[in-house]
């Protein structure tokens, strides 16, 4: 599972990552978290890598806030699950406008975060995605979008039309 944490407070990013790791270890789930200190750095990375299973977004950040970031992603047609984590409940109604998965208030209670992650994991299991470890990190692909996987020594060649409707050839390592 690949999760982006976008929060301008380093302490919050560290705490969230610790909670995420604890949850993933208990569930025996591979986890890759990527930290961003603002929406601009996330968007810069997003141009090249849109393969996230969940975005944890703080709302109150400088320049582009988390709600604006979510609106921008939705306007571009991206349906990645979004979990807002903020100290302000005044944005809660806007969360529905961007189809947010959930909205947690700071300080985040570990049990509430785990509940949201469990809900997401149940939804993901229904989607039947496969997870591959690659040199660049983890890659999840919907089972129905895989054309074929060809074994070659200790590696595989994966061909898929995931998200782009064009042939993808990726070298992956077998888990």
Per-residue pLDDT of the chain (175 residues; tens, 9 = 90+): 999 999 999 999 999 999 999 999 999 999 999 999 999 999 999 998 898 999 999 999 989 999 999 999 999 988 899 999 988 777 777 777 898 999 999 999 999 999 999 999 887 766 667 777 766 777 777 777 777 777 777 777 777 765 443 334 455 544 4
Around Cβ 59, how many Cβ atoms within 10 Å? 22
Other beta carbons within 10 angstroms of residue 139's beta carbon come to 21
Residue with tokens 């610790």: 18
Backbone phi and psi for residue 172, each to the nearest 5 degrees, phi listed first: -125, 155
pTM value is 0.73
């Amino acid at each position: 599972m690949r999760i982006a944490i976008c929060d301008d407070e380093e302490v919050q990013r560290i705490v969230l990552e610790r909670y995420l790791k604890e949850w993933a270890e208990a569930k025996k789930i591979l986890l890759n978290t990527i930290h961003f200190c603002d929406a601009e750095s996330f968007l810069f990375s997003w141009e090249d890598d849109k393969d996230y299973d969940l975005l944890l977004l703080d709302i109150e950040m400088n320049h582009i806030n988390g709600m604006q970031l979510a609106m921008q992603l939705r306007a571009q047609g991206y349906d990645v699950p979004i979990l807002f984590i903020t100290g302000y409940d005044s944005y809660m109604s806007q969360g529905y406008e961007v189809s947010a998965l959930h909205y947690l208030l700071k300080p985040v209670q570990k049990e509430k975060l785990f509940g949201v992650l469990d809900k997401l994991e149940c939804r993901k299991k229904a989607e039947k995605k496969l997870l591959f470890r690659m040199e660049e990190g983890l890659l999840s692909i919907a089972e129905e979008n895989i054309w074929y996987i060809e074994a070659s020594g200790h590696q595989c060649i994966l061909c898929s039309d995931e998200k782009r409707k064009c042939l993808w050839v990726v070298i992956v390592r077998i888990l």
